[in-house]
Chain A
Amino acid sequence: MKKILVSTVIILSLVAFTNVASAQCKNFAKKICKLELLPYVHDGIYNATVLSEGETAELYKTFYAGQEYRVTVCGDENLPPVQFQVLDAERNVLYDNKKHNFAKSWDFKLQSSKQLIISIQVQTSDELNDQILSGCVSVLVGFMNVENSFDQNK
């Protein structure tokens, strides 16, 4: 009985903590991650969640021809690096930030409109630690204002 109660307290407290943390994700996305988008204009869509080491999330989005995009993925400073890959519909990897020192952003444009998948994974920590690290991860999409754009025909 005692073991069950102890386990219940620990497990439920952890879950409750995680959910409370998700409420702070908005501020993280807005005050920290959004700055990484500059000078691109944020599309106004909020995508953020609490992830633990090794966990993943995926964003499915259509990106349009002629528009210049910046995808920014950032994780809470307590978390190990966050890997993100940009995949096509057949899950071929078009970009992997792990090959670019876990860069937070990727700027690109497309010749024709496509649905892409932004696949995010929190890396596992190298340090020996009993506690599984978790924190807010945000993925934001920005686009370049028309006047600031470079020549699309180049």
Chain B
Amino acid sequence: MINMKFKNKILSALAIVAISAFTISFIGCGGDKSNDENLNEDSLNTADEFNKAKQVIYGIPSPIETAMLMKRAGAKYNQDFLNPISNMGNYTTTKSMALNLGVYSADLSFASMFDQSQASIKYLSATKKLADDLGILNAIDKSIITRMENNINNRDSVMEIISETFMNSNSFLKENDRGEIAAIILTGGWMEGLYIGTQIVKNTASNKELMERIADQRLSLNTLVSLLNEYKNDANVQTILPEMEKLKKIFDKIQTSSSKMEVVEKDGKSIITSTSEVKFTPEIFNELEKTISEIRSNIIK
């Protein structure tokens, strides 16, 4: 009898330990929970050999990808389009710090992509400062500035450092139940890339490819809105979502049609072929550019 009681006590104690461990670890992974909830809705429409998706991940173009896209499309560097470092003192709220960490990450990527050494180091320092203010500095390599300075003439190394810094920041946030901050940083970075792209088109000779890449952002905006909706209960996200919805209404005016996708192999590379027709009129571009400038102006003020 005594032995039975003792066993029960042991089991009770183990249960308490397990419940505590569960609670602590679950608090640290809240982002997955929202994904699971979202998944239940999204997976209703899927019917193939795969099981229902456990988790849905929304891939937003990172600042470094956007900078690469712009350079490939023939964009030229213009420092006037970047957010001045002197604005940094204005960012004192979580929302403004997160948005502008994204903005400065985009500016850093843009400067690095065009081999602007001094600007790159300045913008890296700015991102480090904002990361510190947001409490995520521990996720970033302490010697990042020195590493950047030592590799400043090697663009591949510089891009690797930027990519690593961005990954460390967003993984730290996701693993510490701050997925909404990661989403806001991505929003700031995406907006800055879009702003720089539209300013280049507005201020330079016609660039068809860059116009196409800007029109393509309608696809990423849909994903971004889905990502932000995962955190729609967050007060900061609630103020950002309407701005993105406003932008989406303008992007939706772009008429598109495309043919079925097929994969062909050419010279050992896989190419997904599909033709698309995109009607991006000057009127829609002007409306888009004006709205992007307004939203971006509010972000960096």
Interface residues of A (CB under 8 A from B): 1-2, 5-6, 8-9, 12-13, 15-16, 19-20, 22-23, 25-26, 29-30, 41-49, 51, 54-62, 64-68, 85, 88, 91-92, 94-95, 106-115, 119, 121, 139, 141, 143, 145-147, 149-150, 154
Complex alpha-carbon distance, A12 and B8, angstroms: 17
Complex alpha-carbon distance, A1 and B172, angstroms: 40
- Interface residue B291 (Cβ < 8 Å from any Cβ of A): no
Complex alpha-carbon distance, A40 and B243, angstroms: 34
- Interface residue B276 (Cβ < 8 Å from any Cβ of A): yes
Complex alpha-carbon distance, A95 and B263, angstroms: 8
For B170, the chain A residues whose CB sits under 8 A away are 44-46
Report yes or no: B68 in contact with A146, Cβ–Cβ below 8 A. yes
Complex alpha-carbon distance, A58 and B248, angstroms: 24
Report yes or no: A94 in contact with B261, Cβ–Cβ below 8 A. yes
Report yes or no: B50 in contact with A121, Cβ–Cβ below 8 A. yes
In the complex formed, the residue of A with least CB distance to B160 is A41
Report yes or no: B68 in contact with A108, Cβ–Cβ below 8 A. no
Complex alpha-carbon distance, A88 and B219, angstroms: 13
Interface residues of B (CB under 8 A from A): 7-8, 11-12, 14-15, 18-19, 21-22, 24-26, 28-29, 32, 46, 48, 50-65, 68-69, 71-73, 155-156, 159-160, 162-168, 170-172, 174-175, 209, 212-213, 216, 219-220, 222-223, 226, 258, 260-261, 263, 266-267, 269-276
Determine how close the nearest CB of chain B comes to the CB of A95; give it in whole angstroms. 7
In the complex formed, the residue of A with least CB distance to B166 is A44
For A22, the chain B residues whose CB sits under 8 A away are 29, 32, 175
For A45, the chain B residues whose CB sits under 8 A away are 59-60, 62, 166-167, 170
Could you tell me the dominant secondary structure of chain A's interface residues? mixed
Report yes or no: B223 in contact with A107, Cβ–Cβ below 8 A. no
Report yes or no: B57 in contact with A62, Cβ–Cβ below 8 A. no
Report yes or no: A110 in contact with B167, Cβ–Cβ below 8 A. no
For A49, the chain B residues whose CB sits under 8 A away are 32, 54-55, 57
Determine how close the nearest CB of chain A comes to the CB of B3; give it in whole angstroms. 13
Determine how close the nearest CB of chain A comes to the CB of B219; give it in whole angstroms. 4
Determine how close the nearest CB of chain A comes to the CB of B236; give it in whole angstroms. 20
Choose one: A2, A47, A109; the contact of B11 (CB below 8 Å).
A2
Complex alpha-carbon distance, A87 and B78, angstroms: 38
Complex alpha-carbon distance, A55 and B50, angstroms: 9
Report yes or no: B219 in contact with A66, Cβ–Cβ below 8 A. no
For B65, the chain A residues whose CB sits under 8 A away are 43-44, 67, 143
21 CB-based A-B contacts, threshold 8 Å: A8-B19, A16-B21, A26-B172, A29-B167, A30-B164, A41-B68, A44-B64, A45-B62, A47-B57, A56-B52, A56-B53, A56-B54, A57-B57, A65-B212, A67-B68, A109-B270, A111-B275, A112-B258, A113-B276, A119-B53, A145-B159
For A91, the chain B residues whose CB sits under 8 A away are 46, 48
Complex alpha-carbon distance, A148 and B55, angstroms: 34
For A16, the chain B residues whose CB sits under 8 A away are 18, 21-22, 24-25
Interface centre among B28, B216, B272, B275 (most CB of A within 10 A): B272
Other A-B pairs beyond A56-B52, A66-B72, A113-B219, 4, CB < 8 Å: A20-B25, A61-B59, A111-B272, A121-B51
Determine how close the nearest CB of chain B comes to the CB of A141; give it in whole angstroms. 7
Choose one: A15, A59, A154; the contact of B266 (CB below 8 Å).
A154
For B276, the chain A residues whose CB sits under 8 A away are 112-113
For B164, the chain A residues whose CB sits under 8 A away are 30, 42, 44
Complex alpha-carbon distance, A110 and B262, angstroms: 10
Complex alpha-carbon distance, A120 and B7, angstroms: 43
Determine how close the nearest CB of chain B comes to the CB of A54; give it in whole angstroms. 6
Report yes or no: B212 in contact with A145, Cβ–Cβ below 8 A. no
Complex alpha-carbon distance, A91 and B53, angstroms: 13
Report yes or no: A19 in contact with B25, Cβ–Cβ below 8 A. yes
Report yes or no: A106 in contact with B167, Cβ–Cβ below 8 A. no
Report yes or no: B271 in contact with A108, Cβ–Cβ below 8 A. yes
